[in-house]
Amino acid sequence: MGFAGQYISKRKGFSPHIVERPAENLRYIVVIPVFCEPDLHKSLDSLWNCKRPEGYAEVIMVLNAPENADAFIRETNNITLQKTQQWISNHVDPSLRFFIIEEQELPIKDAGAGMSRKIGMDEAIWRFNIIDRPSGYMLSLDADSLCDPDYFTAIEETVNHNPEINGFDIYFEHPVSGSEFNEKIYQGITEYELHLRYVNQMMRFSGFPYAHHTVGSCFGVRADVYAAQGGMNKRKGGEDFYFLHKIIPLGHFTDINSTRVVPSPRESFRVPFGTGPAITKYLASGSELLTYNVESFLALQKLFTIIPLLFKADSDHIQTLIRALPASLIQFLESHNFKGNLQGVNDNSSSVDSFMKRFFRWFDAFRIVKFLNYSSAAYYPKIPVTIAAKQFLEIKGYGTDNQLSGAKELLVMLRQIERS
């Protein structure tokens, strides 16, 4: 039955697409959703040019489309299929094999990034299960993303050093200059990446223990963990965020900063939100990107600081601690039945450590986003991302000078902070 037999048996109608048996020392499978991607070969070239790891690797592309796809999408997909099949026949290496799966009649209600990523990852689980390799890793990449030549070897070095790693995110850098896109797109992606890094750093500063980037083209998960957590979801967008925030709280999740993925900064209609839609919105607005106010994170920090004090505390003490919080949090917690949920966490915790873990399963990343949106609307309006980034640097003691006046300079600084 194998380590993932139970998971696979629950997948109604699952049937493997790839007939070739996996190599016995297969250790990494890259999964790439492909939808209306005429330049897929660039990503494949990037992977092909990687230094080979000791464990063998495979790349599974899921060429997908909804059942109601228009003629342009179908034509683009068919051309991509033909070109990719030819590319595969010209690139033969038993240590790095490429496969393409066709799923071009997906139900409208399911068709999207989550479903296509799930198809590829479930195929990967099947292949790892055949050779009973629970310690294999599935790597998620996008069809318009590139990777550095040490992509596989950096991942291998990390997991060899710590075999207990459940998952990881991989350092990324969008291109912020060049001739492939117009200057407005480069400016937009600079501000958007600055927003991502600012939010991640402020989440960490607030004391949230599970602050990591959740970018679909830049993560990996161990095969047995994927199966145990019920696999990828079918969300049309944000599937990476929802999936990873099931994995991260399990622990043994790390950042791999020794290599790099380069996601595309292009506009996109492929998903409802994320990088592509953010750039489309930026181009339409013509104004600087806004992000969450620093005050929202400082409010969270005040809450997270008192969490250990709430363990087995009596109601009067809890009430005293809560009253000292900012009004934004008091109102938010009341609307989310904080006292009732806190009681449930306390009732099921025997130590401060277990209490903290249970608390952050309740006050998780999803609830934090809800608070950030609530506080932005009712208390702390969003501010330009460059102002927010400067305030973060000042809070952390890095200071800001005249050289850090623009988004690009601020982004370079935050990249250095995160990669170090």
**CATH no. for residue 59?**
3.90.550.10
pLDDT at 44: 98
From 253, 288, 323, give the residue that closes a domain.
288
| Average pLDDT for 140-158 | 98
Is it the case that residue 370 has pLDDT exceeding 60? yes
In whole angstroms, what is the distance from residue 363 CA to residue 357 CA? 10
Q: What's the rounded Cα separation, in Å, for the pair 250 and 360?
A: 11
Examine the domain organization and report whether 304 and 219 are in the same domain: no
The structure tokens 């696979």 sit at: 8
- For residues 347 and 243, membership in a common domain is answered with no
Name the pLDDT band for 60 (thresholds 50, 70, 90).
Answer: very high
Rounded CA-CA distance 212/208 in Å is 10
Q: Locate all alpha helices (DSSP H) within 137-274, ordered by sequence.
A: 151-161, 183-206, 223-228, 239-247
What is the pLDDT averaged over residues 173-195? Answer: 95
> Could you give the 3-state DSSP secondary structure of residue 192?
helix
The confidence score (pLDDT) of residue 271 equals 57
Give mean pLDDT, residues 104-108.
94
* pLDDT value, residue 12: 83
Query: Is 147 among the domain residues?
Result: yes
44 and 169 inside one domain:
yes
Same domain for 159 and 298, yes or no, is: no
Verify that 259 and 178 share a domain, yes or no.
yes
Q: Kind and range of the H or E element at 297?
A: helix 294-306
Measured in degrees and rounded to the nearest 5, phi and psi for residue 219 equal -145, 165
Flag whether 370 is in a domain: yes
- Domain membership flag for residue 334: yes
Q: Are residues 251 and 157 located together in one domain of the fold? A: yes
Kindly state the average pLDDT of the residues 195-206: 98
Q: Provide the number of structural domains found in the chain.
A: 2
What are the C-alpha distances in Å from 303 to residues 52, 156, 160, 182, 321? 47, 38, 37, 43, 9
Same domain for 153 and 225, yes or no, is yes
Q: Do 274 and 336 fall within a single domain?
A: no
Residue 389 lies in a domain: no
Domain assignment present for residue 172? The answer is yes
Q: How far is CA 105 from CA 67, 74, 108, 115, 143, in A?
A: 4, 10, 9, 12, 19
pTM of the model: 0.95
- Give the structural domain span for 334: 294-378
Q: Are residues 93 and 225 in the same domain?
A: yes
Distance CA 97, CA 48 (A): 9
Same structural domain, 114 and 249 = yes
Average pLDDT, the chain: 94
pLDDT in tens, 405-415: 799 999 999 99
Look at 19-33, 148-162, 230-244 and tell me which has the smallest mean pLDDT: 230-244
In a domain, 37, yes or no: yes
Of 268, 288, 308, which residue is a domain's last? 288
Residue 335 Cα distances to 186, 308, 327, 350, angstroms: 40, 22, 12, 27
User: Do 356 and 228 share a structural domain?
Assistant: no
Q: Please give the share of the chain, as a percent, with pLDDT higher than 90.
A: 90
Residues 268-326: tens digit of each pLDDT: 655 556 677 778 787 788 788 999 999 999 999 999 999 999 999 999 999 999 999 99
| Dihedral class, residue 69 (left if φ above 0, else alpha if ψ from -120 to 50, else beta) | beta
Among 259, 288, 317, the domain boundary falls at: 288
- Asked whether residue 383 is assigned to any structural domain, the reply reads no
Specify whether 25 is located in the same domain as 139: yes
Whether 410 is in a domain gets the answer no
